[in-house]
Amino acid sequence: GQQLNQSPQSMFIQEGEDVSMNCTSSSIFNTWLWYKQDPGEGPVLLIALYKAGELTSNGRLTAQFGITRKDSFLNISASIPSDVGIYFCAGLNYGGSQGNLIFGKGTKLSVKP
Amino acid sequence: DTGVSQDPRHKITKRGQNVTFRCDPISEHNRLYWYRQTLGQGPEFLTYFQNEAQLEKSRLLSDRFSAERPKGSFSTLEIQRTEQGDSAMYLCASSSTPTQYFGAGTRLSVL
């Protein structure tokens, strides 16, 4: 099925480092959502973006809805060990009879050895 | 706990058996979604209800799959004659706005 292009696929972090990841699509969306998923669990919502150009923060997390409506990025500042996990972006065109999220393949955050 | 609840969390079955999963959404949410997630992939959409009406089905939802949401409350997803390729995490989400909230999922293993 259709998926978003999410990069990087994986990255290693050292405590205190800032982290950036992004998501691009060939289609436009009117909503972008970012989730974090731990092994064996469901995705947990981090940030929701509803307007092109919107910049939203949630603690150490900041996400932006791209002006073209085809991309979004997520930044994590001053990473801590519990930030380890898989981060997913998801795009949505909300309204009418459609409502399903289109997900990227995820960015896996691991701790540097 | 007022989050999305899924039962069971894990299911192991033999090929050819039928399985049924249950999802209890957040109580005030009128929309309920089912997704499937395989290893290394993001969740993929299966089907979606608004209240009791099933509004959309993915082509991933073969004839062996059926979902119901009687009275617009909880939902069940049934897989008949399971195949090894059905092994995956089945996720349920609910919403009343664009934002969807997920349950912990049901991990299905077909032997």
How does DSSP assign A26-72, residue by residue?
A: SS--SEEEEEEE-TTS--EEEEEE-STT-EEEETTEEEEE-TTSSEE
For residue B25, say if its preceding peptide bond is cis, omega within 30 degrees of 0. no
Interface test with A, best of B6, B21, B45 (most A CBs within 10 A): B45
Nearest to A42 among B60, B95, B102 (CB): B102
Distance CA B47, CA B34 (A): 5
Count the neighbouring beta carbons within 10 Å of the beta carbon of residue A6.
Answer: 23
| Cα–Cα distance, B55 to B3 (Å, whole number) | 23
Q: Does A45 touch chain B (CB under 8 A)?
A: yes
Residue-wise pLDDT tens digits, A24-71: 999 899 999 999 999 999 999 999 999 999 999 999 999 999 999 999
B91–A43: do the CB atoms touch at under 8 Å?
A: yes
Q: Which of A32, A34, A62 is nearest to A49 (CA)?
A: A32
Q: Which residue of A has its CA nearest to B6?
A: A42
Q: Give mean pLDDT in consecutive 10-residue pieces for chain B, a chain of 111 residues.
A: 90 98 95 95 93 87 93 94 97 93 97 96
Residue appearing with tokens 């150490």: A60
Partners of B41 on chain A (C-beta within 8 Å) are 3, 105-106
